[in-house]
Amino acid sequence: MAKNKKDLTTNTTLLKLKNTPFKTATELKQYEEKILREEWENIERAKQRRILLQKEDNKEIIGPFLNGFGAKFVGSHQDSDNLVKVYLAQDDSIQIDIDDELKSKDSSDIVESLVKSLTESFVNGYLTALGLKNESLFQTTKKAMNKNS
């Protein structure tokens, strides 16, 4: 006896497959397992890379992240400290130091821009160093978007 149309629309497997390129639940499950394995490998690779970066022999690689990235005005204020500094703390948290004088002035747009810019650059660099950010993937996507424009 043939299934009626109502049974097909309430079948959860068919609904799950509806907007995918897969014809069977087995195909979908195999692909999900492949992706899960690839992502697990990426994370495990990043863990091992982080352990290696913490070794004394590799301090020159992780050093800039521990020492931090700063922004300051140059010219007549060359002796001034960094206006904003972003660095990786010992507990792996990202720390942001903002100059007290800059915070006290009515310059929230400047502070906000500096913090945002430095933090984004810092995080992107750190994720790239750990191998969790694939620049070539982003470049390929940008090229494809430019071709479609």
pLDDT tens column, 127-141 = 888 888 876 655 655
CB neighbour list of residue 13: distance below 8 Å, 6 or more residues apart: 25
* Pair (85, 149) in one structural domain: yes
Question: How far is Cα 25 from Cα 8, in angstroms, rounded to an integer?
Answer: 15
* Pair (82, 49) in one structural domain: no
In residues, how long is the chain?
149
pLDDT at 131 (0 to 100): 84
DSSP-assigned letters across all residues of 74-138: -STTTTS--SEEEEE-TTS-EEEEE-HHHHHSS-HHHHHHHHHHHHHHHHHHHHHHHT---HHHH
Q: How confident is the model at residue 1 (pLDDT cuts 50, 70, 90)?
A: very low
Model pTM?
A: 0.56
* Pair (103, 134) in one structural domain: yes
- Give domain status of residue 29, yes or no: yes
Exposure letters 110-122 (e unless 16+ CB within 10 A, then b): ebeebbeebeeeb
**Full domain range(s) for residue 36:** 1-53
